Amino acid sequence: MTISARLEALLKATDSVCVLTGAGISAESGIPTFRGPEGLWARFKPEELASFDAFIRNPALVWEWYTYRKTVMHQAQPNPGHHALVRMERLVREFTLVTQNVDNLHARAGAAKVLELHGNIERSYCIECREFTSEIVLATPGQAPTCSACGGLLRPDVVWFGEVLPQLVLQEAFRASERCELFLTIGTSGLVYPAAGLPLRARECGAYVVEVNTEPTELSHRCSETLHGKAGEILPHLADMMSASRKEQPSS
Ligand code: OAD
Taking only the tens place, the pLDDT of each residue in 147-191 is 999 999 999 999 999 999 999 999 999 999 999 999 999 999 999
**Active-site residue 228, yes or no?**
no
| Rounded Cα gap, residues 114 and 155, in angstroms | 22
213 alpha carbon to ligand 1 midpoint, in Å? Answer: 9
Specify the pLDDT at position 134: 79
Average pLDDT over residues 219-248: 94
The pTM score is: 0.95
Handedness of CA 160, 165, 169, 175 (dihedral sign): positive
Q: Which atom of ligand 1 is closest in space to residue 36's alpha carbon? A: 2
| Rounded Cα gap, residues 187 and 137, in angstroms | 28
Catalytic residue among 82, 118, 228, 237: 118
Question: Is the C-beta atom of 230 inside 6 A of ligand 1?
Answer: yes
Residue nearest to atom 25 of ligand 1 (CA): 188
195 alpha carbon to ligand 1 midpoint, in Å? Answer: 12
Length of the chain: 252
61 CB contacts (<8 Å, ≥6 apart)? 48, 49, 54
Q: Name the residue type at position 55.
A: F
**Residue 67, φ and ψ in degrees, nearest 5:** -65, -40
Strand residue runs (E) in 56-207: 94-99, 115-116, 119-126, 154-158, 182-186
**pLDDT above 80 (res 251):** no
Number of C-beta neighbours around residue 217 at 10 A: 22
Q: Measuring CA to CA, which residue among 165, 187, 194 is closest to residue 79? A: 187
Specify the pLDDT at position 248: 67
Q: Which atom of ligand 1 is closest in space to residue 21's alpha carbon? A: 26
**pLDDT above 90 (res 72):** yes
Pocket test for ligand 1, best of 1, 19, 34, 118 (most atoms within 8 A of CB): 34
Average pLDDT over residues 12-25: 97
